Amino acid sequence: MELVKITNDLFDVAWRLKAIRESYVVYYNVQLHRYEVHDSAQYGNTLAFVVPYGNLDCRTVDYALKTRVQNANEIFDGIERANARQDKLNCDAAVCQAAQQFM
């Protein structure tokens, strides 16, 4: 796997990520054609996250802030709320389908 370290970029994303966590390092994965953020403080696999966008821009910094460990409870709560909404929709659909069968 060939990784190219990104130290300077148009929007200073690599530098701005260091402000979030000093151990963040940005690489471009040549084989997979994607940007990756690695955490040099992690042992073993240093991959922190794959940049979900094709370019490095402010969305990458926002994504890094949003996915921080400190925000885990908020993220999990959001997942739980989304699951509850989907469960209600599934239940409502099942009730409607059952009612139609008896009509």
Do 47 and 87 have their domain in common? no
Query: Does 53 share its domain with 85?
Result: no
Q: Are residues 62 and 83 in the same domain?
A: no
Alpha carbon distance 27, 16 (integer Å):
14
**75 and 56 in one domain?**
no
Q: Residue 84's domain spans which residues?
A: 69-103
Give bridge partners of residue 94 from the DSSP assignment.
none
What value does the mean pLDDT of the chain take? 85
pTM above 0.75, yes or no: no
Same domain, 26 and 42: yes
d(CA 102, CA 62): 51
34 and 44 assigned to the same domain: yes
The tens digit of pLDDT for each residue in 52-86 reads 999 999 999 999 988 876 655 665 666 777 787 88
| One domain for residues 83 and 63 | no
Contact criterion met (CB below 8 Å) for 24 and 35: no
Assess whether 37 and 75 both reside in one domain.
Answer: no
DSSP string, 38-57: EETTSSS--EEEE-SSSS-S
| Nearest residue to 29 via CA among 9, 11, 51 | 51
